[in-house]
Chains A and B, each alone.
Chain A
Amino acid sequence: MTGTAASRATAAGGLRKLRTSDPVFFTALGMLTLLILASVAGRLIPGLNDGTSSVGGRFEAPSLAHPLGTDGLGRSLLARLLEGIGTTFMLSLAAVVCTAIIATALGIIAAYAGGWAREIVMRIGDILYAFPAILLALLIAASLGPGGTAALASIVLVTVPLMTRMVGAAAAQVVQRDFVTNARISGVAAPLIMVRHVLVNVAGTVIVQATYALSVAILVEGGLSFLGYGVQLPASSLGLLASEGNVYMLTAPWILIASGSTMVIAILAVNLLGDCLRDRLEPRKAVDLT
């Protein structure tokens, strides 16, 4: 058996093998798990993030009492960083779930309906895709006003076009298959065909694209919060901390270093995870760069 059907049919087996045999996948997953566990621990460990015992002097350098130093109000940077990781991940994940639902529905409906419906969806996607991501995000944030909702809406609008295009292209291939034609001939209802036959066969593409969308989401959230349009004080996020660190770069460089490197690690881990999933779930798109 050739083509993607065989590879996708055994995708579950491929993923099982992936977990044990691919060190990159294992490392990326480990890094992400560590970040998420750390952010959860930050909220659960007494004293770390409840404002009772984590206050020190202003801009204290890293020490045993405050492993990552303190910020301009004397708060433990570790506590704020852990809260920031949580906020960034929660916001990005929520946005990516929205993106995945919207893009998958649009891509599959466009591919199944074909003709003008497909053209309209794809051209609107092209127009949105033509805007630089951060510019589009700024436009939305500026019109909705700063805050988490603006950041979420911006991330969704920035990530939907590419994901719609990728899912639409994969769905268009599946729609041409004989089993879809047979289902139509048999009188199976269109929504059922789209779910039972198309969605299940583009699930690999959806998972891979969602992973890439997550890394874009973390970056967009960081950019917006950095510019003051995303998460607002007194909450914390990686972008907000980076913005604060930028102001006090010379006085307290640990703020920028801690928030910046955490963001790099998070994006790197998500991208590596996406690459590994793509190699397994969409082997034809894997390109050997060596």
Chain B
Amino acid sequence: MSLLELDSVTVRFGVGARAVVAMQDVSFAVDEGETLGLVGESGSGKSTAASVALGLRSPNSGEVLFEGEHLRRRRAAGRMQAVLQHPVWALNPRMTVAASIAEPLQVQTRGRKQVRDRVHEMLESVALDDDLATRRPHELSGGQRQRVAIARALITRPRFIVFDEAVSALDVSVQAQILQLLRRLQREHGFGALFITHDMAVVRYIADSICVMRSGEVVESATMEAFVADPQHPYSRTLLEEQ
């Protein structure tokens, strides 16, 4: 049984003649402890797929299964998390780093000491100094902010995390650090991940398998090794050549 499964999911925006199909019969699965890379150009439906996988958007047709059951966002809260696109907007500018990291855990527990201990544990886990706990986001660099966003996502020990263009806005050197961090954390925590990006180099480094989307449809799914060795779809070949 897969951790998360999208089965023939179709999503349309708008109604009638003006309706735009964002996802058409999209199917993929993410297994525990593994990373599925979702690639494609802008407007291919990647972020819509992330919204559906996180239960933020209901599909017009098809089914989303999480841990073998029909996905309900409220029921899955804490067991799935996300690290989203903009490091600038990932954290509330009015909240301290500690408060931002603690928020998901506070939904589940009110034990102050437990929350405080977990926040420090998470800061250590993402290689951030304890002193940063009292700072606000504008006092951090882009890389530090993304580490805080990762710490926040991990604090509830989720089984599944969506990374939506999580390193796209970072410098190449910072990207490498964050990607190494993610691989280490995945080994330690064993979460399944859906890693959305338009950067083939990034997805080749981080993902175990890949799903290529174009114009709302999945044009190719394969393990990373098979994909790199012998891409089947012309668009997949173009992506690899452009890398």
What is A's interface to B at a CB cutoff of 8 Å? Answer: 1-3, 5-6, 8-10, 177-179, 181-188, 196-197, 200-201
Chain B contacts for A10, CB-based, 8 A? 138
The chain B residue sitting closest to A4, CB to CB, is B93
Check B77 for interface membership: any CB of A closer than 8 A: yes
Tell me whether B56 and A9 are in contact (CB under 8 A).
no
Other than A179-B90, A179-B91, A201-B93, give 11 A-B pairs with Cβ distance below 8 A. Answer: A5-B88, A6-B93, A9-B94, A9-B138, A10-B138, A177-B89, A181-B84, A185-B77, A185-B81, A185-B82, A186-B81
B50-74 interface with A by 8 A CB criterion: 54-56, 73-74
CB-CB under 8 A for A201 and B81, given A183-B103, A186-B103: no
A252 to chain B, nearest CB (A): 54
Where the two chains meet, the residues of B that have a C-beta atom closer than 8 Å to any C-beta of A are 54-56, 73-74, 77-78, 80-82, 84-86, 88-95, 100, 103-104, 107, 136-138, 149, 152-153, 156
User: With A and B bound together, what is the CA distance between A200 and B94 in angstroms?
Assistant: 7
Task: Give the Cβ gap from A190 to chain B, nearest Cβ, in Å.
Answer: 11
30 A-B residue pairings within 8 Å (CB atoms): A1-B88, A2-B88, A5-B88, A5-B137, A6-B93, A9-B93, A9-B94, A10-B138, A178-B85, A179-B89, A179-B90, A179-B91, A181-B56, A182-B84, A182-B149, A184-B73, A185-B54, A185-B56, A185-B73, A185-B77, A185-B81, A186-B103, A186-B104, A186-B156, A187-B73, A196-B92, A196-B95, A201-B92, A201-B93, A201-B94
- Interfacial chain B residues near A197, Cβ < 8 Å: 92
CB < 8 Å neighbour of A5 from B85, B93, B103, B149: B93
CB distance from B36 to the nearest CB of A (A): 18
Q: How far is the CA of A184 from the CA of B77 in the complex (A)?
A: 9
A-B pair count, CB < 8 Å, reads 77
Taking a contact as CB atoms closer than 8 A, the residue among A9, A178, A185, A186 that contacts B86 in the complex is A178
Closest CB in chain B relative to A5 CB, distance in Å: 4
A5 vs B156: C-alpha distance when bound (angstroms): 27
| A184 and B56 contacting across the interface, CB-CB below 8 Å | yes
Chain A's closest residue to B153 (CB) is: A182
Q: Across the A-B interface, give the 3 residue pairs with the lowest CB-CB distance, nearest first.
A: A187-B77, A186-B104, A9-B93
Shortest B55–chain A CB gap in Å is: 8
Contacts of A183 in B (CB 8 A): 103
Closest Cβ of chain A: how far from B157's Cβ, in Å? Answer: 13
Q: For the complex formed, measure the closest distance between the CB of A205 and the CB atoms of chain B, giving whole angstroms.
A: 14
The answer for the CA separation of A188 and B156 in the assembled complex, in Å, is: 13
- For B104, list chain A residues within 8 Å (CB): 182, 186-188
Name the residue of chain A whose CB is nearest to the CB of B162. A185
Quote the shortest CB–CB distance from B98 to chain A (angstroms): 14
Contact check, B156 vs A182: say whether CB atoms are below 8 A apart. Answer: no
Shortest Cβ distance from residue A108 to the other chain B in the assembled complex, whole angstroms: 15
Roughly how many angstroms separate A196 CA and B82 CA in the complex, as a whole number?
19
Are B100 and A179 neighbours in the complex by a CB distance under 8 Å? Answer: yes
User: Across the two chains, which residue of chain A brings its CB closest to B74?
Assistant: A187
The answer to whether B84 touches A187, judged by C-beta atoms less than 8 angstroms apart, is: no
Q: Decide if A182 touches B82 in the complex (CB within 8 Å).
A: yes
Q: Are A185 and B88 in contact (CB under 8 A)?
A: no
**Which residues of the partner chain A approach B103 to less than 8 Å between Cβ atoms?**
183, 186, 188
CA distance A197 to B89 in the complex (A): 12
Q: Is the CB of B107 within 8 A of A187?
A: yes
Chain A proximity of B90: nearest CB distance (Å): 5
The distance from the CB of A277 to the nearest CB of chain B, in whole angstroms, is: 18
Alpha-carbon distance A196/B104, docked complex (angstroms): 13
